[in-house]
A and B are shown apart, each in its own frame.
Chain A
Amino acid sequence: MGSGDRLLEFISRRGFRKGWTVFNIAFFLLFIILPTVFILSYAVTDWSKIQNYVLNDPATMDLIIGAVVVSFEIAAIVTVIDFIAGLPVAWMMARKEFRGKQFLDTLIDMPLAVPTAALGFSAAIFWAATPNPPPFSLAVISSPMLLIILLHVVFSYPYMVRSLTAILGGIDETYETAGRTLGASRLTAVRTITLPLFRAGLVTGAILCFARSLSETGGTIIALATLYGRKMVEGDFQTGPTLIGLWKDASVSDPSLLPALAFVSILLIVLALVLLLVLKVVIMKVRLPLRKVWPTPEKLLSRGLFPKFKDSSAVLFLAAIVLVPSFFIFTYVFTGTPAQADWGLFIDALVTSFAVASVVTVVDLVTGIPLALYIVKNRSGRLAQLLDVLVNVPLIVPTAALGFSLGLFWSTLDSGAAVPILLIILAHIAFTYPLVVRNVVGAVEGVDPAFEETARTLGARPLQSFRRVLLPMIKGSILAGAIMAFTRSLGETGATLAVVANANTAPVYIVNLVNSQSYYLAAMACIILIIISYMFMLLLRRFTREEVV
């Protein structure tokens, strides 16, 4: 027996397999969930400080309430817009065959390739009535709220369309056809049959969009800074995350801001969790009017020009509201006034960002895949169900709050010695980990367990059947998860700033450039970041195509 065999023998033992599973679950709970919600303990341990510095200070209180309310308003409006504009496109992707479908598919994903910092800048210079608008920009928006809504629509739109498409594709089309053979017009069939079956997808899509909007920090800060033409100050228009960013920055010199900072974070986390729970219940419980039918008007709307109008306006929305603002920044190459800069700093930041993203992705994969497998294979177990819900928590918690909570947790454990780069890595793991787990869970669920079981009865050890049978079948999704995690880490600003105020990553560097109004340099940095991200995106698409279903 070779040493390889002996190793295989050892790791195939029940004891080892159990231990490995326990380790991964523990890692998830200790390194991801606990730090994420650690901030909540602050409310218990330091309630008196919160009372003194926040609750009893009407000015601070007003600021906080205002910012949090704005955040939720924006998230709600963005989710609704995404749904209305995204549904027809998702429908086309899931149900129709047309020329250019592949192309449209690529277009939808494009904003995902753009780091939010770059996206915020690009959208802002396109829309905002800034002091010196660049050529070709619209420069019409002067309301910060409207600007942020437009921006958030851009980066949450792909999430909505993707979730809706996935669920729609999973609903057997024969239900709708059956409805039509029974005499229902297309619209009636969709409304009474497909939509009710589709609620689960709606919840996922809505939660993703809502959470994405609620937690977005970097792009928002940049967009606002661009609009104002200067670094943001306390009196400006604030969302929850921007307030955290601002205070975190300031708290370096003014520790008395800490309780306020904690309070905003707690408020955002708790409200987000509560609201999403409510959203889930509401969507699942509300019954659409099934018994009511309006055969004639619905028949009219099912045919003729209306469907064409609906489809073309949805695509137009995609182009005008989502794509053009995303890539407007490229015009700077031609129209900007070149400026001298120390590119060495940017390259340093880029290297840091890459190092962080790489480490984060590797850790996500190594610990995330076993957890995903555990969740799928023990579906009926309480623990697995609980873990399945918990995995989503970092997704809904605003990254700025998450970063702050994380920083607090690790510095409490080991005050002083916390290495900044390590903290950034831990923070990034927390919000990218769910992306890997979700992707892998989805992929493994799509694979008939009979494949692995058959391999086992053919004599394969669990590890062998995973490596030789399951892994080749889900490698596309694993890669997709990995690249999503990588680009997400590469583009993240909010959590980075919240955990370490003066971090040196590429998006933070861009924020600083915008704050100091070095727009040309900021644009160039954004473009480089976009190109790198986009290359990863292409990789992702190539590998997911190859996946054998």
Chain B
Amino acid sequence: MNDQEYLCLLGPTGAGKTTALRVIAGLTAPDEGTVHFDQRDVTSVEPEHRNAVLLSQTYSLFPTMTVAENIMFGPDIRNVSDRDKEQMLVSLLDLVRLTGRAGSYPRELSGGMQQRCALVRAIATSPDVLLLDEPLRALDARLRIDLRRELKSLAKTLGLTVVHVTHDQDEALVMADRIAIIRDGRIVQVGTPSQVFNEPASPFVANFVGQSNFFTGTVVSSGPDGSEVEDDTGHRMKSRPTDVPVGEKAVLAVKVGHTRLLKLEAAKLQGRIERMLFEGRVVHVDVDVDGVGRFSAKIPASHGGRYQVGNEIGVGWNRNKAKLFPYPEGGLENELRVD
């Protein structure tokens, strides 16, 4: 990890994200391997000497202390002088708009305020690394969207190095400089949001970060400007160039957001609209393609009126948006499992 970087650890529940965070914080000892801060091996250093502050899912605001006492807990332990503490407190409270609430107890604060209070408590110790364990999980969906931006800009303004654990791929896309995708205790891919979204390392990543449609078949041709897969029913679909050899079983993945509805005659995949769901900025359309399966697309809400459930319609995509993977060993369904 780099200095001042915002790294998201993204993965399903039980993938080992929180364990990774605890190992960095020193709360769990690794069975094997070492942890380094600035090239210094800290594997056996006690948590209180690592200067890596953990913000837990439930915030862990000390219920017996007021907001001000909570925030000053770190400086207190470090015997910072009273005058410095006072100045620090004023500016920190101001930073997260809690100035009027210094004397309140955590239980008297709303969820969002608690989150902000826990955040400045962590910042007050000027940590080298800030470890956030699903910091937005306990909040309402709509509030979460606003706080994503707030949290990110705070981290950037203060130049913090942050490791943020989340199961929410939208959150990771919006907030992270880099995303590490974790599954079954392993890092599957590390990259910028656009790398992870556009260049997924596996069908799992393709489906986990932004949903994907999948088309399974055998590679029939492969060249520098693209490859082609054919399924049992004779449909041939194109993708970006691949290194899966011709003749091998493969799976093509294309993002739901990159899947287009086409005129019937122009499309190789033809089906019937099963369902249309209004989702605000887009309409989610499920198309049942005979013999192949369901393909989903998101069309701009303004185009929603052009289609109706039951319409015969074509499905396709720009070949550059489709990526080909070798067929996963344990089967596709198993590969795509998200919980």
A and B touch in the complex (CB under 8 A): yes
Query: Chain A interface (Cβ within 8 Å of chain B)?
Result: 14, 448, 450-451, 453-461, 464, 468-469, 472-473, 548-549
| Of the residues A468, A472, A473, A548, contact of B73 by C-beta under 8 Å | A468
Given contacts A453-B25, A464-B77, A468-B73, contact A458 B64 (CB under 8 A): no
B121 at the interface (CB under 8 A from A): yes
| B320 → chain A closest CB, angstroms | 45
| Of the residues B58, B65, B74, contact of A458 by C-beta under 8 Å | B74
**Cα separation A464 to B27 with both chains bound (whole Å):** 16
Flag if A450 contacts B47 (CB, 8 Å).
no
B53 at the interface (CB under 8 A from A): yes
Flag if A461 contacts B60 (CB, 8 Å).
no
**Cα separation A473 to B62 with both chains bound (whole Å):** 9
**Cα separation A333 to B54 with both chains bound (whole Å):** 63
**Cα separation A14 to B29 with both chains bound (whole Å):** 15
**Cα separation A455 to B202 with both chains bound (whole Å):** 39
| Of the residues A451, A456, A472, contact of B48 by C-beta under 8 Å | A456
Residues on A with C-beta less than 8 A from B57 are 450
**Cα separation A14 to B78 with both chains bound (whole Å):** 20
Residues on B with C-beta less than 8 A from A14 are 46
15 further interface pairs, Cβ-Cβ under 8 Å (given A455-B62, A456-B26, A459-B78): A448-B60, A450-B60, A451-B62, A453-B25, A453-B47, A453-B56, A454-B53, A456-B48, A457-B52, A458-B48, A458-B122, A458-B125, A472-B65, A473-B62, A548-B63
Flag if B131 contacts A457 (CB, 8 Å).
yes
| Of the residues B54, B58, B64, B78, contact of A548 by C-beta under 8 Å | B64
B319 at the interface (CB under 8 A from A): no
| A231 → chain B closest CB, angstroms | 53
Flag if B47 contacts A457 (CB, 8 Å).
yes
Which residue of the partner chain B has the closest CB to A465?
B48
| B237 → chain A closest CB, angstroms | 47
Q: Which of B25, B51, B64: most chain A CB closer than 10 A?
A: B64
Residues on A with C-beta less than 8 A from B25 are 453, 457
Residues on A with C-beta less than 8 A from B294 are none
Which residue of the partner chain A has the closest CB to B78?
A459
Which residue of the partner chain B has the closest CB to A453?
B27
Residues on B with C-beta less than 8 A from A451 are 60, 62
Smallest CB-CB A-B distances: 6 pairs: A472-B64, A450-B56, A456-B47, A454-B60, A457-B54, A458-B74
Flag if A457 contacts B53 (CB, 8 Å).
yes
Query: Chain B interface (Cβ within 8 Å of chain A)?
Result: 25-27, 46-48, 50-58, 60, 62-65, 73-74, 77-78, 121-122, 125, 131
Which residue of the partner chain B has the closest CB to A452?
B60
Flag if A454 contacts B54 (CB, 8 Å).
yes
Given contacts A448-B58, A451-B62, contact A458 B77 (CB under 8 A): yes
Given contacts A458-B74, A459-B78, contact A469 B58 (CB under 8 A): no
**Cα separation A213 to B50 with both chains bound (whole Å):** 53
**Cα separation A53 to B39 with both chains bound (whole Å):** 76
* 15 residue pairs from A and B, CB less than 8 Å apart: A14-B46, A448-B56, A450-B56, A455-B73, A456-B46, A457-B26, A457-B27, A457-B52, A459-B48, A459-B125, A460-B48, A460-B73, A461-B48, A464-B77, A473-B64
Which residue of the partner chain A has the closest CB to B62?
A469
| B31 → chain A closest CB, angstroms | 14
**Cα separation A455 to B124 with both chains bound (whole Å):** 13
**Cα separation A464 to B76 with both chains bound (whole Å):** 11
Residues on B with C-beta less than 8 A from A468 are 62, 73
**Cα separation A450 to B62 with both chains bound (whole Å):** 10
Residues on B with C-beta less than 8 A from A456 are 26-27, 46-48
| B162 → chain A closest CB, angstroms | 14
Residues on A with C-beta less than 8 A from B73 are 455, 458, 460, 468
Given contacts A459-B125, A460-B73, A548-B63, contact A454 B56 (CB under 8 A): yes
| Of the residues A450, A459, A472, A549, contact of B77 by C-beta under 8 Å | A459
Given contacts A456-B47, A456-B48, A457-B48, contact A450 B131 (CB under 8 A): no
Residues on B with C-beta less than 8 A from A455 are 62, 73
Residues on A with C-beta less than 8 A from B65 are 472
Residues on B with C-beta less than 8 A from A464 are 77
**Cα separation A14 to B63 with both chains bound (whole Å):** 28
**Cα separation A459 to B52 with both chains bound (whole Å):** 9
**Cα separation A455 to B57 with both chains bound (whole Å):** 14
Flag if B27 contacts A459 (CB, 8 Å).
no
Which residue of the partner chain A has the closest CB to B25?
A457
| A467 → chain B closest CB, angstroms | 11
**Cα separation A14 to B45 with both chains bound (whole Å):** 11
**Cα separation A468 to B70 with both chains bound (whole Å):** 11
| Of the residues B55, B63, B74, contact of A459 by C-beta under 8 Å | B74
Flag if B77 contacts A457 (CB, 8 Å).
no
**Cα separation A102 to B30 with both chains bound (whole Å):** 49
| A542 → chain B closest CB, angstroms | 17
**Cα separation A457 to B125 with both chains bound (whole Å):** 10
| A454 → chain B closest CB, angstroms | 4
Given contacts A450-B58, A453-B25, A453-B27, contact A460 B64 (CB under 8 A): no
**Cα separation A451 to B58 with both chains bound (whole Å):** 9
**Cα separation A460 to B52 with both chains bound (whole Å):** 12
Which residue of the partner chain B has the closest CB to A447?
B63
Residues on B with C-beta less than 8 A from A460 are 48, 73, 77
**Cα separation A461 to B206 with both chains bound (whole Å):** 44
**Cα separation A59 to B125 with both chains bound (whole Å):** 77
Flag if B53 contacts A458 (CB, 8 Å).
yes
| A3 → chain B closest CB, angstroms | 14
| B26 → chain A closest CB, angstroms | 8
**Cα separation A456 to B52 with both chains bound (whole Å):** 10
| A141 → chain B closest CB, angstroms | 51
Flag if A458 contacts B63 (CB, 8 Å).
no
Q: Which of B50, B54, B57: most chain A CB closer than 10 A?
A: B54
**Cα separation A461 to B26 with both chains bound (whole Å):** 13
**Cα separation A438 to B57 with both chains bound (whole Å):** 29
Which residue of the partner chain A has the closest CB to B79?
A5
| A220 → chain B closest CB, angstroms | 44
Residues on A with C-beta less than 8 A from B51 are 459
Residues on B with C-beta less than 8 A from A457 are 25-27, 47-48, 50, 52-54, 131
**Cα separation A460 to B48 with both chains bound (whole Å):** 6
